[in-house]
Chains A and B, each alone.
Chain A
Amino acid sequence: MGLRVLKDEEEEMKKSSITQHSQKEEKPKRIKKKTPFTKFLYNLFIYSLLILMTIVTIGPFLWLLSTALKSGAENIFAYPPKFIPEQPTLANFARVMEAFPFWRYLFNSSLVSFVTVLLNLVLCSLAAYPLARMKFKGKNIIFILILSTMMIPFQLLMIPIYLLALDLGLNNTYAGVILPHATTAFGIFLIRQAFMTVPYELEESARIDGCNSFQIWLRILMPLVKPSLVTLAIFTFMMSWGDFLWPLIILDDTSMYTLPLGVNALAGSFSSDWRLIAAGSIISILPIIIFFIFMQKYFIGGVMKGAVKG
């Protein structure tokens, strides 16, 4: 479902809300019968709030977009601010694309995120299995140790990790960017919670059929926790895609930059030209916005499921 489709739907709905709102109630309320007028007022109230919040959350980006579309002849510092560009132009975008190796950064970001997601899915769910479903010595201590890593600020660890990465020759490599995010305690916790809900009978009957633990993990448990794996993939992707500080430290070769780093460098090199900074920022978020529009069901569902299980 595209944003445009939704937008159209919303506009259509706004136009016809007066006539349609009475058919919309799916479950007839038993208690209070609302008159069409109070229902209209109620809907008006709800939509006003919804639109107000949309302005709050999307408005700043639209303001940035408006700036990016303003031509060099227009004063972007005009007061009062002009929300609609006088002569909208793509010239700023064209100029930014010359200075900004967008496709290279997009490739770097995509590769890093994809491998990080893959590693997390495998490593977290492997570690989650015994923590969810086996009895062994040291289980509680291991689990608490893993959970405690969530509270250790990365900024404390990044100095030694940086030194380690240098020792391993991982500076300016994809592996170096990926390393600190290859496994997360959150992922282990999330998948553990999912594994715990799988009935033990399934595991026992598989064991009677001669499956070993690895086969049970791969063939019984993993397919049953697919929604949680999707959730973990979404979380890891968001974290990895937006990551800034670590790539900044480990990468000094600009051809290895990810999108946030590229945009930061761009903002630095065009320090006062807000048209170009705005255009570069808009270009850099287009991929994630488009990805989000197509995958919004998974993003929204993933975060909601993560909340229930975590």
Chain B
Amino acid sequence: MKQSKIAPYLFLLPGCIVLGLIIFYPLVQAVWLSFTDYNIIQDPNFVGMENYQTMIESDLFWKALGQTFLYLIVVVPSLVILPIFLAILVNQKVKGIGFFRSAYFVPVVTSMVVVGITWKWVYAEQGVLNYILDLMGLSSVNWLTSTSTAIFAVMAVTIWKGLGYYMLIYLAGLQSIPSDLYEAAEIDGASKFKQIIHVTIPLLAPSILIVSIMSSISAMKVFEEIYVMTGGGPLNSSKTIVFLIYEQAFSRLNMGYASAIGVVLFGITLIISIINLKVMSKKEKVA
């Protein structure tokens, strides 16, 4: 195939200029800022490792880091497993199934601000959720104002908003499984449940991989639902690393310190992304 030597670079140029402007240049500058005491008002002074020192000695940093991992540990498996069942449900060939697929997708298209407001109202002390608990004979919970439940209540919203999205990814995977596999399993006498375990789940492996990657990326970056629903509270109990960065940078104007936390976050995500890339390239070789 003949092509000019510079053609590939010309095609890449506009996109790469933008990515350079919005990712790579800011990345370098963020690393530089992390070694300064920049606060928007005064010019940055180089302070060496001071921000990192402060960070390591900060209880709040470790708390937020722990809560970020808690977020990953709860949200990612939930978003990997629950939508599989939802996808199997909406893959049933019954009348009106299109309506249900769309209904489950509505939270996905709704902005997180409105979703957060909606759930704040559902979680309210005298709200619907506590009423349902009451009906089941359980005592009511101060979902968003108790330090032991706030972060889990926000996680539930992250999961709730993501369900419909990952459901569709699995649905696409389900529909690519040839139906004669199920027929063969049925001839062998496999029950519907056994078919799910032995046919559906193994053949969904590529989709499961995609969902794991995507949900872990978005769980690491979680911010808006926390901002809208708890503001990180009560007593910092729902603060994650990204929330801490936002708070330090734009409420306290500690831009240098915020950048240092950001660099640490980047380090963690880089490790995860390298693992992801390795898995992805393996998958590509197979495909």
Contact = CB atoms under 8 A, between A and B. Distances in A.
Interface string B195-236: 000000000000100100000010011011001100000000
Nearest 3 pairs between A and B by C-beta? A156-B262, A130-B8, A127-B15
B152 interface: no
B145 interface: no
A117 B57 CA distance: 44
6 contacts: A50-B89, A147-B277, A153-B221, A156-B259, A160-B25, A307-B168
Given A130-B8, A263-B117, A277-B117, A156 B266 contact: yes
Interface string A122-155: 1110110111001010010010111111111111
B255 A159 contact: yes
Interface of B: 1-5, 7-9, 11-12, 14-16, 18-19, 21-27, 29-30, 33, 86, 89-90, 92-114, 117-119, 121-122, 124, 126-128, 131, 134, 160, 163-165, 168-169, 171-173, 175-176, 183, 186-187, 207, 210, 217, 220-221, 223-224, 227-228, 242, 245-246, 249-250, 255, 258-259, 262-263, 265-266, 269-270, 272-273, 276-277
A37 interface: no
Interface residues of A, number: 113
A31 B186 contact: yes
Contacts of A78: 126
A23 B95 CA distance: 11
Which applies to chain B's interface (DSSP): helix, strand, loop or mixed? helix
B102 A13 contact: no
B8 A304 contact: no
Given A153-B265, A160-B33, A300-B168, A136 B104 contact: no
Contact of A53 (B86, B113, B165, B272): B86
Interface string A29-62: 0111000000000010011011001101111110
A300 B15 contact: no
B9 A123 contact: no
Interface in A10-30: 10, 13, 17, 20, 24-26, 30
Given A3-B102, A53-B100, A307-B172, A264 B14 contact: no
Contacts of A57: 103-104, 106-107, 160, 163-164
A13 B99 CA distance: 12
Given A26-B93, A182-B22, A153 B242 contact: yes
Interface of A: 1, 3, 6-7, 9-10, 13, 17, 20, 24-26, 30-32, 43, 46-47, 49-50, 53-54, 56-61, 63-64, 67, 77-81, 122-124, 126-127, 129-131, 134, 136, 139, 142, 144-161, 163-164, 179-180, 182-183, 185, 188, 200, 203-204, 207, 212-213, 217, 238, 241-242, 244-245, 249, 259-261, 263-264, 267, 274, 277-278, 281, 284-285, 288-289, 292-293, 296, 299-300, 303-308, 310
A16 B154 CA distance: 41
A11 to B, nearest CB: 9
Nearest to B125: A77
Given A58-B106, A64-B118, A123-B18, A81 B27 contact: no
Of the listed residues B100, B119, B186, the one surrounded by the most CB atoms of chain A closer than 10 A to its CB is B100
A267 B120 CA distance: 11
Contact of B266 (A49, A153, A200): A153
